[in-house]
Amino acid sequence: MIFEVLTIFPELIECYTKYGVIGKAIEKGLAKVKIYNLRDYTSDKHKKVDDYPYGGGAGMVMQIEPFYNALKEIKKDGKPRKVILLSPKGIMFTQETAKSFLTEGKGIVLICGRYEGIDERIKFFIEEEISIGDYVLSGGELPALVIIDSIIRLIPGALGDEISAKEDSFMKGFLDYPHYTRPEEFESMRVPEILLSGNHKEIAVWRKREALKATFQKRPELLKNLSPEDMKILKELCSEINKKIMEEAYEPVNH
């Protein structure tokens, strides 16, 4: 899988791609991240990539020329690519989006804007606009890295433990279950006994139950297309939560 990033801050991308899952995937030859410094694709002798906006207003706008020149250079080899603009106007990036991008098998070009944005004519050279959330960032480099990281994790062989990727939050449609490690007790807080039992079948049931519980309490909108088994667990959870609420509401007050 090849990712190509257009940015005026190549160091931001280079730094992150040297470590962790991305770094190891690159070492194994499972992924490649190529970075294009937009200042190398401008005709201005000072390597300027921005200018004042037509019509006035605050801030600077990135010029179309360096993006056009960089994309022209990238596409010379004729290989299929999906050109993506990182933008708050784009569709929301999700785990399903990451899986679909990987399944397509195309290289991905990620365009990182800065300042007040990019000349609107960039829209003629992209296929899709992607947003990673409803908040403001200083540029597209962090969203680009989020997308690269999330997709590379899905590439077979990128993680040391393939089961780990399959059990990540959102992979099954809901949040992950709680995780614990040594020591068994810390500051009077104990690891749940079920996890120490060695009964893998019961542990699997407990984990599914805890995952559904966390999703129901924190992200209920994710609970879609549940299996009959999931629905049964969810009904039990709702019953327990309602019972607890009633008990607390009618708990006698000691004076």
- Give pLDDT tens digits for 132-163: 999 999 999 999 999 999 999 999 999 976 55
Please check whether residue 83 is in contact with residue 101, taking contact to mean a CB–CB distance below 8 angstroms: no
Please indicate whether residue 153 is annotated as part of the active site: yes
* pTM: predicted TM-score of the whole model, two decimal places: 0.84
- Judge if 19 and 133 occupy the same domain: yes
Q: Tokens 């006994």 correspond to what residue? A: 193
**Predicted local distance difference test score (pLDDT) of residue 244:** 83
How far apart (Å, rounded) are the C-alpha atoms in residues 120 and 63? Answer: 9
Cα–Cα distance between 157 and 138 in angstroms, integer? 33
Exposed, middle or buried by CB within 10 Å (0-12, 13-18, 19+), for 37? Answer: middle
Domain housing 205: 185-249
Question: Same structural domain for residues 37 and 124?
Answer: yes
In the residue annotation, 119 being an active-site residue is answered as: no
Catalytic residue, chosen from 88, 129, 149, 167, is 88
Q: Return the ∠ at Cα 129 (arms to 10 and 218), rounded to 5°.
A: 95
In a domain? residue 62: yes
- Would 168 be classed as within a structural domain? no
Split into its structural domains, the chain has a count of 2
Label the pairing between strands 61-62 and 50-51: antiparallel
What integer is the mean pLDDT of 190-206? 94
Catalytic status, residue 116 = yes
| Residues 174 and 211 sit within 8 Å (Cβ to Cβ) | yes
Is 88 considered catalytic here?
Answer: yes
The residues pairing with 30 across neighbouring beta strands, listed in sequence order, are none
pLDDT reading at 224 higher than 90: no
pLDDT at 185: 93
Determine which one of 168, 176, 207, 209 is catalytic.
168
Same domain, 29 and 143: yes
Please report the pLDDT score of residue 176 as a whole number.
87
Catalytic residue among 65, 116, 129, 167: 116
- Per-residue pLDDT of 176-189, as tens digits, reads 899 998 999 999 99
120 and 21 in a single domain? The answer is: yes
CATH number of the domain that residue 193 is part of: 1.10.1270.20
